[in-house]
Amino acid sequence: MIVLGIETSCDETAAAVIRSDENGGGEILADVVLSQIEAHRPFGGIVPEVAARAHLEFADHVVKQAMDQAGLSFDQLDAVAATGGPGLIGGVIVGVMTAKAIAAAHDIPFVAVNHLEGHALTARLTNNVAFPYLLLLVSGGHSQLLIVHGVGDYTRLGTTIDDAVGEAFDKSAKMLGLGYPGGPPIEAAARQGDAKRFALPRPLRGKPGCHFSFSGLKAAVKRTIDALPPGALLDQDVFDMAASFQAAVGDVIGERTGRAITEFRKQCPGANTLVVAGGVAANTALRTKLEDVAGAEGMVLAAPPLNLCTDNGAMIAWAGIERLKLGQQDTLDFAPRPRWPLDPDAPKATGAGVKA
Ligand code: KG4
Ligand code: ZN
């Protein structure tokens, strides 16, 4: 089965082609990611209207580039998948309409993929992970701990009660003058910093459950910066703050994931894989922390390569293949979904600024 995947839910216009094999695996025949970062950089964050217009301008080119890279014509595709949500709705509409047009013109199935499921299933493509597994999904819009029982079958153990962890990276980076997106420059700055210099809080650490909270950490970064001598921040201040922030995030995520492992073990005895996914999973310090946490519990960490952690079309093509194999596809009247939880039955998280 050869499937084209299109991703347009945030600030990357992406398309990829995957061919599935008989052993349950897949080969990436093409993978094209066009980042819009330069278009958003002047605003210090993603502007939805700018994103939607850029997707509209470039989606066709990116799809063509992916097809050329794969050396295939549209007639050779077995199906086309696109992110159907959750995400910035203008961009999602562009991707969904592009995929529907290809499906209609070439009379092939269309699959609307949940973007979060794309992240969630990537480790099955890259690391051949079997169900069930524990998933830590950490991106610009989400911070969740989920049990992945199967395709479309999730139990959410924890979510953020306020900001997502990627958002905390991005906002802290902005305060430190490190630009957007904030994850990579914070990681780089942290390498030269002293993580013990600034005492930052570890929100919710030791509290029952597996929820996250990052807004207090963000506020503490601001307070600490404001307390420094007036004037421009010194390089060393930026390095130390980045290191202190990253250490706090690592501690919180490590502790929350440890609790989730205990719950996972109860619900799925015998299973022992922890998967980390989403853009923040590209953070090497966090991966090392998670390896330690998993190892201490007798679990194995599976992490997709960095380029498949941040948004891409391959994860959408792959999730499409997984659903098609189960006989699932969508009709051309599918309506894009700005919100689309993986576990719709999860109890609502309570907290100051609940978004999830
Ligand atoms: O999954 P993703 O590409 O898009 C969403 O679906 O949100 O995640 C983007 C997020 C951004 O907040 C970015 O700052 C963060 O992932 N990120 C990182 C790193 N690389 C990207 N955070 C920490 N360390 C990194 N190396
Ligand atoms: Zn994402």
Q: 115: CA distance to ligand 2 center in Å? A: 7
Report DSSP state, residue 340: -
Higher pLDDT, 140 or 322: 322
Tell which one of 12, 139, 160, 217 to mutate to probe ligand 1, the residue whose CB is within 8 A of the most ligand atoms. 139
For residues 53 and 50, give the distance between their C-alpha atoms in angstroms, rounded to a whole number.
5
Q: Would the CB of 122 count as within 6 Å of ligand 1? A: no
- Which residues, listed in sequence order, are joined to residue 112 by a DSSP beta bridge? 82
Average pLDDT over residues 156-180: 95
Residue 42: its pLDDT value, please?
84
What's the angle, vertex CA 329, arms to CA 324 and CA 335, rounded to 5? 145
Residue 356: its pLDDT value, please?
46
219: which 2 tokens?
């506020």
Residue 180: its pLDDT value, please?
85
Q: Would the CB of 10 count as within 6 Å of ligand 1? A: yes
In this predicted structure, the answer to whether residue 190 has a pLDDT above a threshold of 70 is yes
* Confidence class for position 312, pLDDT limits 50, 70, 90: very high
Q: Would the CB of 85 count as within 6 Å of ligand 1? A: no
145: which 2 tokens?
């701990």
Percentage, residues of the chain above pLDDT 70:
98
Let me know: does 34 contact 334? Beta carbons within 8 Å. Answer: no
- What residues have CB less than 8 Å from 61, skipping those under 6 apart? 34
In this predicted structure, the answer to whether residue 352 has a pLDDT above a threshold of 80 is no
Q: 319: CA distance to ligand 1 center in Å? A: 20
For residues 37 and 173, give the distance between their C-alpha atoms in angstroms, rounded to a whole number.
15
Among all bound ligands, the one having the nearest atom to the CA of 164 is 1
Atom of ligand 1 nearest to the CA of 310: 3
Q: Would the CB of 158 count as within 6 Å of ligand 1? A: no
Q: Would the CB of 187 count as within 6 Å of ligand 1? A: yes
Question: pLDDT tens digits, residue range 25-54?
Answer: 999 999 999 988 888 888 877 889 888 999
3-state secondary structure (DSSP) of residue 285: helix
Average pLDDT over residues 221-225: 97
Residue 350: its pLDDT value, please?
72
Average pLDDT score, the chain: 95
Residue 44: its pLDDT value, please?
76
Report DSSP state, residue 223: H
Task: Report residue 154: phi and psi, to 5°.
Answer: -130, 145
Residue 353: its pLDDT value, please?
55
Q: 116: CA distance to ligand 2 center in Å? A: 7
- What residues have CB less than 8 Å from 235, skipping those under 6 apart? none
Q: Would the CB of 169 count as within 6 Å of ligand 1? A: yes
Question: pLDDT tens digits, residue range 102-150?
Answer: 999 999 999 999 999 999 999 999 999 999 999 999 999 899 999 999 9
For the whole model, what pTM was predicted? 0.94
* Confidence class for position 351, pLDDT limits 50, 70, 90: low
Q: Would the CB of 282 count as within 6 Å of ligand 1? A: yes
